Structure 1
Amino acid sequence: MNFPKRENFRPTEKPLIIVGSKNPVKIACTEIAFAETFNRNYLVNGISAASQVPDQPHGDKETYLGAKNRVMNAKRTFPEADYWVGIEGGVADDDNGMYAFAWIYIEDKAGKHGKAKTGTFYLPQAVADLVHAGLELGKADDQFFSQHNSKQQGGSVGILTKGVLTRQSYYSQAIILALIPFINKEIY
């Protein structure tokens, strides 16, 4: 989708959502999740918004901060929106190995915010080794699974579930969960 030009910007019947990424998967899952949640259409666009965390965030704190920073930077860049969405994928290690997840952070023009985390899944040791060696998870997946630009397609979750879950469906559920405060304004 193309942005409305600032000089031509006019409020439309469709609320505007800005995703802090140009990744087509993140844009599509945001559009689907908002449409399913509110039973209406939205104009959804993505912009490059800095996460201000490493390309491969490690741990909840860093990953959450990346999602929130994407929203804050998108909001500064395009303040005319009705909602801003940040999606940041991360990894962490525990006694069972390296696992992957993502944080979602959403804010509306009134300053209300919602957040949620996806489910987690463990990565094969060979992929974890590549990430530990300094590769971002998408690049590690591409190298190990002989893929190209997998993070803008099914991602790790799509590769490992053989398409049963896609990155889009995986993120969509968490976006819906992050919208809970907007669905239940009277108690949040």
Structure 2
Amino acid sequence: MADLPRAPMLDLWLTLSLERVTGAQTLWMEGMPFTECAFVRIAIDGEALHDRPRFSDAWVVFEELEKSAVASGRYLIFTCSCGIAEDGGWEGVEVEVGTSTITWRLEAEGEPFHFVFERGLYVSEIEALRKCLAQEALPLQPQAVIFPEHFQRDIQTNGREEGLPDDAGE
């Protein structure tokens, strides 16, 4: 299986999906059972991110992903399955929102990743999943997220930087 791109590339496709655990199913993540719930999955250029060893135990924080489509800044797009970001080594994703692209810079288990997505597709995937979630009866995981102790959300709005504490604006 090919490695995910580490150098800037244009026109990466971000695909979002909702995975459901229902009925007699149980999903085990880091020794914890999850039943009767839903969670967001990300694929990049058709490759499921959770299939990669550095992302296999990561949960997507949909609220943070939504915010990342609007303004450049640091977002906690990934967290540990227990909801405590630092347990999984997640410190946030540096997001740069451009006119036609959205760029992610992050580190997972000491390895840097750099993804450049087509902005229109990125936004439309988030909007489509938001509509799907509005109809969803199952609770979305993670239900609670604890940001890293020293998390600083530096959001770029109208050309000026605003340093906000970890859960500001939520």
Same fold, TM-score > 0.5, yes or no: no
Larger relative contact order, structure 1 or 2 (CA cutoff 8 Å, min sep 6): 2
The TM-score normalised by the length of structure 1 is: 0.31
* Structure with more of its chain in strand, by fraction: 2
Q: Give the greater-gyration-radius structure (CA).
A: 1
When normalised by structure 2's length, the TM-score is 0.33
Answer 1 or 2: which has greater helix percent. Answer: 1
